[in-house]
Chain A
Amino acid sequence: MKNQITSRDYELISAYLDNQLNEKDRALLETRIRTDPELRNELHEISKTRILVHSLPQLRAPRNYYVNATAVQTRPSHQLAPIFGIVSAIASVLLALVIFGSTFLKSSSQVAMAPALPVANETIVVQQEVQRSAVTPLPPTEAAPGVLMGAPLRASPTPNIGALKIVQTENATPTTIYLFAYPPTSIPEKLVTLNEEQNEISQIQCEEYYGSGAYPTLTSQYDCPTPTPSNTISSFLDILSSPSPTPTTTPTPTITPTTTPAPTGSPTPTASATPTPPVVPPSIQNIAPTGGAESQTGITSPDQVVSAGNPTPAGQEKTVNPGPNLSFLNYLLLTVEISLAAIAIIAGIVAIVIRVRAG
């Protein structure tokens, strides 16, 4: 019988004891109470409980709680804690939005920023590593002329750290070549195409030079590497006529920057990084001498620097400043981020201190 009494019945009993039922509900409940002893017992129990709680004495205030002017005007410091907390939260949210927005802005404008990469004034920058990465590996028969000029073939499109930039001063006669080690940077496609065209022209001129019989008398008119038996036309024909050139692969993608010690105007740093190595005849490897420690450090010794007609004064080499390229927007974003972070941290700490002091 007891489980028949629902929470609704207890609400009716409670309201009945407080005289809060309307006439209809009161009549229905009184009828049930007369016929249901369990419900009647519950009514008595709740009534006793209500009377017991009501029997608690009315306590008197131990003192007078007058409000004076100073108590009213003095704002409790702990009431400021939520304000500081809200300020800290807002600053944190704004900081997150700014960081996200700046990251999105940088990623979206990266392509547009590429042409603005630093290029030395009035200098022609040859990034040999990027150039090599842009050149598609050719079969040995087609790559041979290019190899004759010491143009290295490299299948890896990604320049490694330490890739070399060769800065050649404009109108330099003879040419001064400086080797610098720079972190990998992207380079405009126009510049790569220009370098490829110049390299092809040099190759054609050197082929004519080797084949005209003027060699080695007119070395000053041709900027060609010192000929070896492997980079003459006869040796090239020998390579073509050989039935099966022994392929040599260089699996390790190590870069071996070199410079040609001879007075050649065409800088030909070579690298043997070929992750997907093409077939290279042994004779081709011979014309790509590995540079010594001096050339690897990027500091050219006097022997390696080709004398320049328009020499750059000592200590005034034109170099590319690899420093940060932050625009005004970047500085502004950085300032905003730092400010918001400071506000969030300070306001949060103040809120915590106030709450701790207030208990």
Chain B
Amino acid sequence: MIQAARDGDLDSFNRLVLVYQDLVYNHAFRMVGEEESADDATQNTFISAYNHLGSFRGGSFKAWLLRIVTNSCYDELRRRKRRPTVPLEPLDDAGEEVESARWMVDPGNQPEEQVEQAELQRAIQHCLDNLPGDFRATVIMVDVQGLDYFEAAQAIGKPIGTIKSRLARARLRLRDCLNGFAELLPAGFRLEIG
């Protein structure tokens, strides 16, 4: 399928899109932490992948795609940094914005366990967003996407030693960050540092 796509078969490439689009979108969302930006990054990733299929020289197609989407997310983050946007927050009865509205959304009929799980996911995503870009990409590839060190090194384009170092430091920072959300962590996962 990859070879057919390299020969210009668009249908073959679209079958590859169906296989990898969840992986690419998930990685993009964890990198940028926003649905719209993740959607744009995913679309740009597949367009760029098709245009540059000639530069794919074998190996892990998954790692190659993750490298493209990571760079696309870096572009998206830089663009967002140049033009920061302020999300529209709802107003309360006094006409003032309700801060952290997403954290105060009415869970409705959701079970309490699901609500706690959603809050925990937001807390983890919040800690991921606070990581430097290189650390974030590494920990997402290894701990979220499940790549081994060799694939992560291929996707990031750095030696395995760099991957080990970045991963250790990223996990240390995540540990310190999640320590601030101890009330959201399950009893068995509460960190004892601090």
A-side residues, CB < 8 A to B, are 7, 10-11, 13-15, 18, 20, 41, 44-46, 48-69, 71-72, 359
Q: Please pick, from A45, A59, A67, A359, the residue contacting B10 in the complex, using a CB distance under 8 A.
A: A67
State whether the Cβ of B143 lies closer than 8 Å to any Cβ in chain A.
Answer: yes
Which A residues are CB-close (under 8 A) to B64?
none
| Contact, CB under 8 Å: A58 / B26 | yes
Chain B, residues 167-180, CB within 8 Å of chain A (1/0): the string is 11101101100100
B38-65 interface (Cβ within 8 A of A) = 39, 42-43, 46-47, 50-51
Interface residue count on the B side (C-beta < 8 Å): 49
Can you pick out 13 interface pairs between chain A and chain B where the beta carbons lie within 8 Å of each other? A11-B164, A11-B168, A45-B193, A48-B191, A52-B174, A52-B185, A53-B174, A54-B146, A58-B26, A63-B39, A67-B47, A71-B47, A359-B83
Bound together, the chains give a CA A72 to CA B193 distance in angstroms of 51
* B149 interfacial by beta-carbon distance below 8 Å: yes
Cβ proximity bits B138-180 to A, threshold 8 Å, 1 near / 0 not: 0100111010110000000000000011011101101100100
Q: Which residues from chain B contact A72 at a C-beta distance below 8 Å?
A: 10, 47, 50-51
Q: Is the CB of A62 within 8 A of B25?
A: yes
Known: A11-B168, A56-B121, A72-B50. A61 touches B25 (CB 8 A): yes
| Residue from the list B17, B26, B121, B128 in contact with A65, Cβ < 8 A | B17
- Rounded to whole angstroms, the CA-CA distance of A41 and B24 in the bound complex is 35
- Residue B106, interface by CB 8 Å: no
Taking a contact as CB atoms under 8 Å apart, the answer to whether B21 and A65 are in contact is yes
Partner of A20, one of B43, B143, B146, B164: B164
Among the listed B10, B39, B149, B191, which residue makes an inter-chain contact with A18, where contact means beta carbons less than 8 Å apart? Answer: B149
Main secondary structure of the interface of B (DSSP, over half): helix
A55, B124: Cα distance in complex, Å: 10
Q: Is B22 an interface residue (CB 8 A)?
A: yes
Complex contacts, B174 vs chain A, CB 8 Å: 49, 52-53
Q: Which residues of A contact B17 (CB under 8 A)?
A: 64-67
- Report Cα–Cα, A57/B39, bound state, in Å: 17
A45 adjacent to B18 (CB under 8 Å)? no
* Residue of B whose beta carbon sits closest to that of A54: B143
Residues of A within 8 A of B185 (CB): 52
Given contacts A56-B121, A56-B124, contact A50 B171 (CB under 8 A): yes
**Chain A residue contacts of B175, Cβ below 8 A:** 45-46, 48-49
* Residues on A with beta carbons closer than 8 Å to the beta carbon of B128: 53
Further contacts, 20 of them, CB under 8 A, given A20-B148, A45-B192: A7-B165, A7-B168, A10-B171, A14-B168, A18-B142, A46-B172, A49-B178, A50-B143, A53-B128, A53-B171, A55-B124, A56-B144, A59-B22, A60-B26, A61-B21, A65-B42, A66-B17, A67-B14, A67-B50, A72-B51
A51 touching B189 by the CB < 8 A rule? yes
Interface of A, helix, strand, loop or mixed by DSSP: helix
The 9 A-B pairs with the shortest beta carbon distances in the complex, nearest first, are A14-B168, A61-B25, A53-B143, A11-B168, A61-B21, A49-B175, A10-B168, A59-B26, A65-B46
B121 touching A64 by the CB < 8 A rule? no
Q: Which residues of B contact A64 (CB under 8 A)?
A: 17-18, 21
Which residues of chain B have C-beta atoms less than 8 A from A15's C-beta? 149, 164, 168
Known: A46-B172, A48-B191. A62 touches B39 (CB 8 A): yes
A44 to B188 CA separation, bound complex (whole angstroms): 11
Q: When A49-B175, A49-B191, A67-B50 are in contact, do A57 and B121 touch as well, CB less than 8 Å?
A: yes
In Å, the complex CA distance between A45 and B79 comes to: 35
Distance in angstroms from A141 CB to nearest chain B CB is: 83
Interface: B125 (CB within 8 A): yes
Given A11-B168, A59-B25, A66-B14, A54:B47 Cβ within 8 A? no
* Complex Cα–Cα for A335 and B47 (A): 43
Query: Which chain A positions have C-beta within 8 A of B142?
Result: 18
**When chains A and B are docked, how far (Å) is the Cα of A102 from the Cα of B20?**
59
Contacts of B50 in A (CB 8 A): 67, 72
CA distance A60 to B120 in the complex (A): 19
- Nearest to B45 among chain A residues (CB) is A65
Cβ of A67: which chain B residues have Cβ within 8 Å of it? 10, 13-14, 17, 46-47, 50
Nearest-Cβ distance from residue A38 to partner chain B, whole angstroms:
11
Let me know if A61 and B22 touch, CB within 8 A. yes
With A64-B21, A72-B50: A53-B144 Cβ-Cβ less than 8 Å = yes
Provide the bound-state CA to CA distance between A71 and B17, in Å.
14
Residues of A within 8 A of B89 (CB): none
Q: Which residues of B contact A63 (CB under 8 A)?
A: 39
Q: Is B67 an interface residue (CB 8 A)?
A: no
CB neighbours of A68 from chain B (8 A)? 10
Residue of B nearest to A66 (CB): B14
With A and B bound together, what is the CA distance between A180 and B116 in angstroms?
Answer: 98
Chain B residues whose C-beta falls within 8 Å of the C-beta of A13 in the assembled complex: 168
Q: How does the 8 Å CB contact mask read for B21-38 relative to A, with 1 for contact and 0 for none?
A: 110111001100001000
Residue from A15, A20, A67, A68 having most chain B Cβ neighbours under 10 A: A67
Q: Which of chain A's residues have a CB closer than 8 A to the CB of B193?
A: 41, 45
In the bound complex, residues from chain B placing their C-beta under 8 Å from that of A51 are: 189
